[in-house]
Amino acid sequence: MKVVAAPRDLRTLVRDARSRREVIGLVPTMGYLHDGHASLIRRAAGECDLVVVSIFVNPLQFGAGEDFDSYPRDLDGDLAAAESAGADLVFAPDVSDVYPDEIKTTVHVGIVSEGLCGAHRPGHFDGVATVVAKLFNFVEPDRAYFGNKDAQQVAVIRRMTHDLNFPIEVVDCPTVREPDGLAMSSRNSYLSASEHTSALAIVGGLRDAATVVLAGERSSAAIEAAARTHLEAAAGVSPEYVELRDALTMEPVETIGEGRFVLAIAARVADRPGSGARLIDNFVFAVKGGKVSVDEGVLASAAGVEATSRE
């Protein structure tokens, strides 16, 4: 596995691969890799000849007072994890490699980026879309892999790719969870053991929502209420939003019809002021011909939680 920091070196290696007609896959990350990231790299390795993993904590997507400085970083650990998952090339630039000058051009994806995390983290998705556009230009991949854990991010990138005609297939991958159901996240490292336990209310809320959807509930307000009730009963968890949206456009939905939907949650989990983390998670489901299919991970996690609590 090769490791480069300069976009020019990256381009040279990728162009060599393309001249050999290799299929190029890109997995953008902010590092501190866990098995969720590894699942994307493994999927890319199964479908592409050259797998490029970028590791870059992108300052443009962090707001003032957010955790850019304290975001966990471990390049050596990441290189080992990327290689064992099947990466061929790691692009680990410095901020000055990606932003040599003060940037004057950003990408704003209307509507899709404006609710949910976009409303609570102003400018966040402009930062994400802009850095992903830069990565698309640096790597020119055939396919790019993203996790559904960040469902709004996937929708933003899909729409940007469509609107700006990037000839790239955006592949979304299922959320990888801890055995107890908590969605894997680099930010889980901020949690104490008791905060980790409190955070399980997030997946518990998703599971309760999934249960009412499977029982036939079609009112968004009622589905959101099922999740919110679970979250509000948990100590140390403050929901930021609990919202049902169209999974492609991220627009609000009143009554579930046919299509693909996401119930998205953001919550702060903290034992005391200044500790803990802001976490996001979601549950995606589709309705086709009146038949509902749900994101199995959320339901499977119930088995994990019960198994854990029975021990």
Binding footprint of ligand AMP on the chain (CB under 6 A): 29-30, 36-37, 39-40, 146-147, 149-150, 173, 175-176, 183-186
Q: How far is the CB of 165 from ligand AMP (least distance, A)?
A: 22
Considering the complex, state which of residue 124 and residue 230 has its C-beta at the smaller distance from ligand AMP: 124
C-alpha 111/C-alpha 209 separation (Å) is: 25
Tokens standing for residue 225 = 């209420």
Nearer to ligand AMP, 177 or 228 (CB): 177
* Cβ–Cβ < 8 Å for 266, 259: no
* Residue 120 a catalytic site member: no
Shortest separation between residue 174's beta carbon and ligand AMP, angstroms: 7
Closest-CB residue for ligand AMP? 147
For residue 16, the minimal CB distance to ligand AMP (Å) is: 26
What is the smallest separation between the CB atom of 19 and ligand AMP, expressed in angstroms? 28
Q: Which is nearer to ligand AMP, 148 or 220 (CB)?
A: 148
Three-class HEC string of the chain: CEEECCHHHHHHHHHHHHHCCCCEEEEEECCCCCHHHHHHHHHHHHHCCEEEEEECCCHHHCCCCCCCCCCCCCHHHHHHHHHHHCCCEEECCCHHHHCCCCCCCCCCCCCCCCCHHHHHCCCHHHHHHHHHHHHHHHHCCCEEEEEHHHHHHHHHHHHHHHHCCCCCEEEEECCCECCCCCECCHHHHHCCHHHHHHHHHHHHHHHHHHHHHHCCCCEHHHHHHHHHHHHHCCCCEEEEEEEEEECCCCCECCECCCEEEEEEEEEEECCCCCCCEEEEEEEEEEEECCEEEECHHHHHHHHHHHHHHHC
C-alpha–C-alpha distance, residues 167 and 279, integer Å: 32
The order of strands in the sheet holding 169-173 is 2-4, 89-91, 50-55, 24-29, 143-147, 169-173
Shortest Å, Cβ 221 to ligand AMP: 28
Q: 130 or 220: whose CB is closer to ligand AMP?
A: 130
Q: Considering the complex, state which of residue 80 and residue 221 has its C-beta at the smaller distance from ligand AMP.
A: 80
CB of 132 to ligand AMP, least distance (A): 10
Q: Considering 34, 37, 108, 124, which one is annotated as catalytic?
A: 37
User: Of the two residues 59 and 287, which places its CB atom closer to ligand AMP in the complex?
Assistant: 59
Query: Mind telling me the catalytic residues?
Result: 37
